[in-house]
């Protein structure tokens, strides 16, 4: 492979953003990959940022599937309790509370399935 800009110079690597061959003169070393000098540094930086964020989200998933539903469940319990005390089963806060509890269950089940799928692929 030769440098995209210098057809007679052998390439030392390729840009992570556009995959073109680059010689030392045309390369910016980004720690985690190479980029076209003065051209694709920002793009390679963005790619890396997205990759980092993705792995962060996946590694945090086991915690999130417990915390989010627990929060909804707590909200639901509070709404249902105060709704029932103030107006009984037909009161709006009580209905909202039940809604939150159902939502908590759905969130838990669906995020658990989602995480299973994600970790199965990795
Ligand atoms: Zn490039
Ligand atoms: Zn070059």
Tens-digit pLDDT profile for residues 31-69: 888 999 999 999 999 888 888 887 777 676 666 667 778
Note the pLDDT of residue 56.
76
Average pLDDT, the chain: 85
11 contacts 19 by C-beta, under 8 angstroms: no
State in Å: Cα 46 to ligand 1 middle: 13
Ligand nearest 14 Cα, by number?
1
Task: Give the separation between CA 26 and CA 110, rounded to whole angstroms.
Answer: 48
Task: Give the separation between CA 5 and CA 83, rounded to whole angstroms.
Answer: 71
Instruction: Return the residue matching tokens 């908590």.
Output: 104
**Is 60 exceeded by the pLDDT of residue 121?**
no
37 contacts 27 by C-beta, under 8 angstroms: yes
Between 22 and 86, the more confident residue is 22
State in Å: Cα 52 to ligand 1 middle: 20
State in Å: Cα 42 to ligand 1 middle: 10
């Amino acid at each position: 492979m030769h440098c995209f800009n210098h057809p007679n110079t052998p390439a030392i690597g390729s840009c992570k953003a556009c995959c073109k061959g680059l010689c030392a003169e045309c390369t910016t070393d980004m720690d985690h990959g190479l980029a076209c000098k003065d051209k694709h540094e920002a793009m390679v930086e963005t790619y890396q940022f997205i990759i980092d964020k993705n792995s962060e989200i996946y590694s945090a998933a086991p915690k999130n599937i417990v915390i989010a539903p627990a929060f909804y469940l707590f909200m639901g319990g509070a709404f249902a309790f105060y709704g029932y005390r103030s107006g009984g089963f037909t009161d709006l806060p009580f209905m909202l509370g039940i809604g939150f509890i159902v939502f908590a269950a759905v969130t838990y089940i669906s995020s658990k399935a989602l995480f299973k799928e994600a970790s199965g692929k990795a």
